[in-house]
Amino acid sequence: IEPFGGAATCLGGAIRDPLSGRTYVYQAMRVTGAADPTLPVSKTLKGKLPQKKLVREAAAGYSSYGNQIGLATGLVDEIYHPGYVAKRMEIGAVIAAVPQKNVLRLDAEPGDVVILLGGRTGRDGIGGATGSSKVHTEKSLDSCGAEVQKGNAPTERKLQRLFRRPEVSGIIKVCNDFGAGGVSVAIGELAPGLDIDLDKVPKKYAGLDGTELAISESQERMAVVIDKKDRARFLKYAAEENLEATEVAKVTKTPRLVMKWRGKKIVNISREFLNTNGARQEASAEIVLPDEEHNYMREPVSIGNEEKSWLKTLSDLNQCSKQGLSERFDSSIGAATVTMPFGGKYQKTPIQTMTALLPVLNGTTDTVTMMSYGFDPYLSSWSPFHGAVYAVTSSIAKIVANGGDMEKIRFTFQEYFQRMTADSRRWSAPLTALLGAFEAQMGYGLPSIGGKDSMSGTFEKIDVPPTLVSFAVDTGNVGEVITPELKKTGDKIVKFTIETDEYELPKYDRVKELYTGIRKAEKAGVVKAAYALDEYGVAPALSKMAFGNMLGVRISEDVLPEELFLGESGNIIAEISDESVLKSLKVPYRVMGEVTDDGLFTHGKTRIDIIEALEAYEKTLDPVFPIVSRGSDKKVGSPVFLSKNVYTTRFRNRNPKVFIPVFPGTNCEYDSMRAFRRAGAETEIKVFSNLKEENIKESVAEFRKSIDDAQILMFPGGFSAGDEPDGSAKFFATAFRNEDIREAVGKLIDRDGLVLGICNGFQALIKLGLVPYGEIIDAQLEDSPTLTFNTINRHISRMAYTKVVSNKSPWLSLAKPGHTYTSPASHGEGRFVASEEWIKKLFDNGQVALQYADPDGYVSMDGEWNINGSFSAIEGITDPTGRILGKMCHVERRGEGVNLNIYGEQDLKIFEAGVSYFR
């Protein structure tokens, strides 16, 4: 009905839940289900939006929220099955962490106060939770459209910042998020006795009645219980984060939930009644056994023509590239992403397990978290029991292939089934799926610790496929992570096959032995790459492993064609360097072939060129989710400007101070702070408060003082309002044109200070005129260079290769002129645009600092490498002195153990150069 808002709510709500435990969410996974989005609009089901619109708008909604709030979405996948034409599936899974000492679990006591934090209340979201559980019909568009919440990611970002502060989390006794039920539940669950004043609840607009105030949901509001003596201190902390905070309730001795509106009690219920949990319900289930023959409902692969079968499998909706979808989601923010979504020199090998370092603010860590998922809708349609067993098994196999230890895995399950009725046979699918998941947990000795379900997957007479998705979570060491792209010519390809019983179910003890053996081989360093197989067999998995570095594979002639295109979840293929180690470890395996450098997939007389295979792999969803913009291979000049007179400062400082301002929408301040601290600088972060007029005046005064005390001014990246034009750069530009702040910036420049702006910060520099002019100007001139929307017309998140083409800037004093580096890019409007006159002037003056290039340093307009279509492939420019640098790529998002599956030099040493300039 409203795919953008619904998907945004999916992620906002997923963040909201762990936030109530004061944990910091640092990585997300998105798994969705849809019908075929490549079908023409004319084949749209009556009463439905076209699938192409649904998948695009939902992706835009989820990515908009995640990109704005500053959450790395480490893995994105969409599952296609005709049953999801009934109702789309949208799952958001997140990982959060917190130092144990920061969380107190206390009881609310009479006299404590309840403070409402965050956004204001409106009518959007009333009935949202119950609405999502309704059966939809052709009339749903008219009756249910207003149930979707309108998210506010920048406000939830402020909540994350506030709760991350130990001095704040340490005085929160109890906390709850505003999910289903709004105030009624969020505050109603906090204590046995509560007196809630609905008139104090901040409103988006006038006219809301008591019921609306009591039940409106949102993901950017939290309710906290504070000791009365800590009230003033807590409100002060909230104000420092530019957050509205209002006392709306008191904890009472009497065990009753009381709500007042306009001075009258409109709710007065005893806690004893609320604790009864409503009526007991029961249902009968009749088990429906699967057919003896597998009936996967998908078109079988013909084994006759091997080349045709290979290309057809790669172009299958559930095997083809999802890169154009995935790269809409910021995957690198937080500088903790260990494996980028696509790896290898050419960034074409997809990962199966998202991996991230723990989000420590101070110091370093080598501890990583891993998350994978398992699910096959076709297998589950044949047998929900088998589908659940192999969902669990597949999620384990992916963790093992990633270098994880299966003994530490915990699961969370997401279930999605047709609407239940009095028909006992309809209860068969959820019951048998849960039994399958239970058997797998008992068999492997690994528990699930949570989950979520929905029994609303019905539209008219169409049902979603029986869906139980297994998410597996693990911890490990970054030094033991295995990335899936093939590495070296001559290495062997081996297959590890799980044993099954007469019912085609895993022999759990034998599978555990196999996975333990694989883990030992990984720790011994013999496994160079690994990939968990699925029902589509070896061919697509080997292809994906090869695409990253464009290597070939020669498959042994004793491998039957059936094995290439038919498989079983739980099996793993791997690239190994020493077969003798596997033999010594007694790990059962089979040699399938070897890695070659000829760019061919070879099996007997079959020869498949990797370029042809890649085209088949990428063409299916390209009309829906384009991977690159259609640029040309036109060469762009990249002369390296070498100056003998690089600017030096008159003022030395062993520990220069960096001021990092934060505005609504900013989300890269933590990464920037860590990068400068690692380089040896002191940092200061201040949030610009604009809640009230007096807050603005106070912020201006504080900003001026901070700039006066600093040697470096850093404009960090961020987003605002769905990455609208200018984003939070408009806040930067407005504030920094204030007379006091503008004067302070001028003085910093006059005393040889440095200024750096990255991504959205680059946009701020452009709008202010600091680049290319070197000073803040009254308004951006009509002919000035600017940044605008990417030519692909969507957000881009990937690693970009950039070539250093000038040594004029002190920021690049430690980089090699003419050398190519790779850095994370994540932006919706990073395309540099300027007239020919300006471009010539910038090059002639050495103000073009970096250009987009391919891995070998070749600069062109090819959309594969000039990722946003920038004129002359310009990625970063400076002012005339070189002391003010603006660039798009996030050089702050690097560190030890991140981006392990990315090739090339990743450290431009910009932050070290900035500190060195003053030393």
Residues annotated as catalytic (active site), given as ranges = 759, 890, 892
- Give the residue from 626, 606, 525, 594 showing the smallest Cα distance to 565: 606
Report the alpha-carbon distance of residue 558 to residue 348 in Å, rounded: 29
CB 551 within 8 A of CB 486: yes
Q: How far apart are CA 456 and CA 459, in angstroms?
A: 9
* CA angle in degrees (0–180, nearest 5) for 880-885-890: 160
Read off φ and ψ for residue 424, nearest 5 degrees. -65, -25
Decide if 746 contacts 776 (C-beta within 8 A). Answer: yes
Residue whose tokens read 């029961």: 282
For residue 612, give every residue at least 6 positions away whose Cβ sits within 8 Å of its Cβ, in sequence order, or none: 311
Q: How far apart are CA 754 and CA 702, in angstroms?
A: 20
855, 904 contact by CB (below 8 A): yes
How distant, in Å, are the alpha carbons of 756, 760, 849, 877, 909 from that of 816?
Answer: 19, 25, 12, 16, 10
Place of tokens 């520990």: 655
Phi/psi region, residue 883 (left: phi>0; alpha: psi -120 to 50; beta: rest), is alpha
The answer to whether the CB of 75 falls within 8 A of the CB of 29 is yes
Residue type, 157: R
Residues 6+ apart with CB under 8 A from 453: 414, 415, 416, 417, 430
SS (H, E, C) 357-420: ECCCCCCCCCEEEEEEEECCHHHHHHCHHHHHHHHHHHHHHHHHHCCCCHHHCEEEEEEECCCC
Tokens for 173?
């006794």
The type of residue at 359 is P
Amino acid identity for residue 708 in this structure = D
Cβ-contact 486, 592 below 8 angstroms: no
The DSSP line for 140-166 is HHHHSGGGS----HHHHHHHHHHHHSH
Asked if 48 contacts 459 with a C-beta cutoff of 8 angstroms, the reply is yes
Q: How many CB atoms lie within 10 A of CB 471?
A: 24
What values do phi and psi take at 66, rounded to 5? -65, -40
CA–CA dist 661, 658 (Å, integer) = 10
Please provide the distance, in angstroms rounded to a whole number, between the alpha carbons at the two ends of the chain: 59
Looking at residue 639, the DSSP 8-state letter turns out to be P
How many CB atoms sit inside 10 A of residue 886's CB?
A: 29
Q: Which two tokens stand for residue 863?
A: 């959309």
Report whether 444 contacts 508 (CB < 8 A): yes
Contact 580, 518 (CB under 8 A): no
Nearest-CA neighbor of 528 among 661, 344, 754, 382? Answer: 344
CA-based nearest residue to 103, from 48, 159, 174: 174
